Amino acid sequence: MKQNSHKRSPLVGRAIAAAAALLLGGGGLVAVNVTANAGQSDDGGSTEQISAQNASTIACPEVVDQIPEVPSKARAEVDRNLAQLDSQIGDAYQKMVSARAKGSMDADAMQSSILDPLEAKRKASINEINSSLDRWGQSPAGLTDLADCQLKGNDAAGGDGQALDGQQQDGQQAGQDQQQGQDQQGGQEQGGQDQGGQDQGQGGQQGGGPSPDDFQDITQVQPNAQDPNQGNGTGKFTSDCGVNENGLRNSDNVIAAPGVSNGAHHMHDYIGNQANDAFASDDDLAGGQTTCKNQEDQSTYYWPVIRLQNGQNEQDANAAGGGQDGNIGQIQTPVEVTNEFVGNPSSDVVAMPKFLRIITGDAKAFTNGDANANASWSCTGFEDRQLKDKYPICPEGSKVVRSFAFQSCWDGQNIDSANHRTHVAFAKEDGSCDNGFKAIPQLKQRIVYDVPPGPGFAVDSFPEQLHKPITDHGDFINVFSDNLMNEMVSCINNGEECQ
């Protein structure tokens, strides 16, 4: 996709600045508290009440994690409804932002106009999932209990924000017609009046996040990274597939939402296989062209794009996956991408099955919690210092580095699972795999960007995830030829370095 450098329209600029000010602490905030069913402490009391400046998003239980198995005949309908659940949350989040901008967010209105309708829509979709599972097998108990959602605070650490609870406080200002929001770099929108045709925030306030607190000066981080390959001196196989010079991008996700357009609600960069979209079958991937130098690697490698939030728009500013889903700014093509496959310090590795699918990290880690979060951020020249829940602020001359280490243990049977996680696992601390799992080559990715120093970039995300760095994630589908996969395994197990 070709970059487009035209300026954001005044209307879009005002809307974004208003949302940013409201979500991230601008002037004129309305303190509000909403009753949330999940907001009870262990002793039966209410959780701590927090103000609207920390009530920044909507959190819903993850339904897919409670579905251990999906019969093949039910897969399409289940996937469609799981994707619909994601869309419902995004729509509700946008309504919440709009309600704040209009100054109409009191407790009763929030519950009746946003949370209750969201719960009703989720129940309908979950009931369809239950019906489909029952038609071809048996649905797990308690899925409909996951329909209820709650508001969540803007905890920059990710996963631990407080749920709102309690009634509207006396004396709160509940109907302001004007919101005054000042971004962290001094650009200002007052009373809905545009100041110069675009917001000027470099602090990441556009499109609902990230927060300035999501950035950290890498020079202030103590060295914390260990050698990931210490142990038995295993070999390494490298596959050079470019940096997405072709500009292949879409907001689909053929692993998590097959058959659903815009299933990711954010834009992905693709390298390797060029036949990848939501509707690509294994046969399509097997017949696809590849950007990899070794043409026997037709694998798919993809990740959310990084955008500069500098007041300039990309061509998708008004499209699904782009501006419609809160992802705004110029997409940055990496300057370097490294795909390395390494071995296991406890045993030899076995070949990965063709079309094995692996997701590392969690695109919803801000609301789900950090249990599956697995991306690292750093800067060139400082890669012994790795950040998990912060974006790095790199010094002049240093580049931003994001890294993924994929799961390296396979159950020996399945190329995918219902939640796209349980068929693979991370090795134990000593490198060994759980009983029944086999060690496979571990993909380690290093992606480098040349972006201006400072907090002016963000990874694409689901709208309600607020572009938090902890939501970063990577995806891989193995489409190596059998011959090249066997060469990789031999190379790694013999302690060699190959490509």
Q: Residue for token digits 């931003």?
A: 400
Angle made by CA atoms 487, 480, 349, in degrees to the nearest 5: 50
Residue 443 bridge partners (DSSP): 341
What does the pLDDT read at residue 104? 67
Confidence (pLDDT) at 58: 94
Please tell me the least confidently modeled range out of 42-46, 259-263, 447-451. 42-46
Centre a 10 Å sphere on the Cβ of residue 157 and count the other Cβ atoms it contains. Answer: 15
The vertex-341 CA angle with 337 and 351, nearest 5°, equals 140
Instruction: Identify each DSSP E strand in 98-163 by its residue range.
Output: 150-153
Q: Mean per-residue pLDDT for 79-94? A: 96
Contact 287, 298 (CB under 8 A): no
| pLDDT tens per residue across span 135-184 | 999 999 999 999 999 988 766 444 444 444 332 333 233 233 323 333 33
Q: Is the pLDDT of residue 480 over 50?
A: yes
SS3 97: helix
CA distances from 322 to 18, 372, 482 (A): 19, 25, 37
What is the arithmetic mean of pLDDT over 25-36?
28
For residue 48, pLDDT over 70 is answered with: no
What residue has token string 């009703």?
120
What's the rounded Cα separation, in Å, for the pair 173 and 8? 31
Helix axes 75-101 and 10-24, enclosed angle (nearest 10): 90
Q: Give residue 97's pLDDT.
A: 87
State the pLDDT at residue 209. 79
Residue 437 pLDDT more than 50?
A: yes
371 pLDDT above the threshold of 90: yes
Q: Band of the pLDDT at 22, cuts 50, 70, 90?
A: very low
Nearest by Cα to 408 from 224, 228, 225, 256 = 228
74 pLDDT above the threshold of 80: yes
Backbone angles phi, psi at 236, to 5 degrees: -150, 135
pLDDT given at position 208 = 77
Contact 113, 99 (CB under 8 A): yes
At 233 the pLDDT is: 60
Pair type for strands 336-342 and 497-498: unpaired
Evaluate whether 9 touches 196 at the Cβ level (below 8 Å). no
Among 183-197, 227-241, 364-378, name the one with the lowest average pLDDT.
183-197
- pLDDT at residue 225, as a whole number: 87
Q: Of 168, 189, 211, give the one whose Cα is nearest residue 31.
A: 168
Say whether pLDDT at 486 is over 90: yes
| Backbone φ/ψ region at 401: left (φ over 0), alpha (ψ -120 to 50), beta | beta
* pLDDT tier at 55, thresholds 50, 70, 90: low
Residue predicted with more confidence, 387 or 101? 387
According to the model, what pLDDT value does residue 188 have? 33
pTM: 0.81
Average pLDDT estimate for 279-289: 97
pLDDT above 80 (res 93) = yes
Among the residue ranges 89-93, 182-186, 303-307, 479-483, the one predicted with the least confidence is: 182-186
- pLDDT-derived band at 47 (thresholds 50, 70, 90) equals very low
* Average pLDDT value for the chain: 81
**How open is the CA angle 189-191-197, to the nearest 5 degrees?**
40
Beta-sheet pairing, 497-498 with 236-238 = parallel
In the chain, count of helices (H) and strands (E)? Answer: 7, 23
Per-residue pLDDT at 460: 97
Q: What is the Cα–Cα distance from 487 to 499, expressed in whole angstroms?
A: 9
**Cα separation of 266 and 319, whole Å?**
10
Q: Which two tokens mark 404?
A: 């993924």
Please answer whether residues 313 and 337 qualify as being in contact, where contact means their C-beta atoms are separated by less than 8 angstroms.
no
Tokens of 430: 């000593």
Contact 279, 285 (CB under 8 A): no
Name the percent of the chain lying above pLDDT 90: 69
Sort strands 55-59 and 150-153 into parallel, antiparallel or unpaired: antiparallel
DSSP character at residue 432:
P
Q: How far is residue 318's CA from residue 332's CA, in Å, rounded to a whole number?
A: 18
Residues 6+ apart with CB under 8 A from 117: 92
Beta bridge partners, 151, equal 58
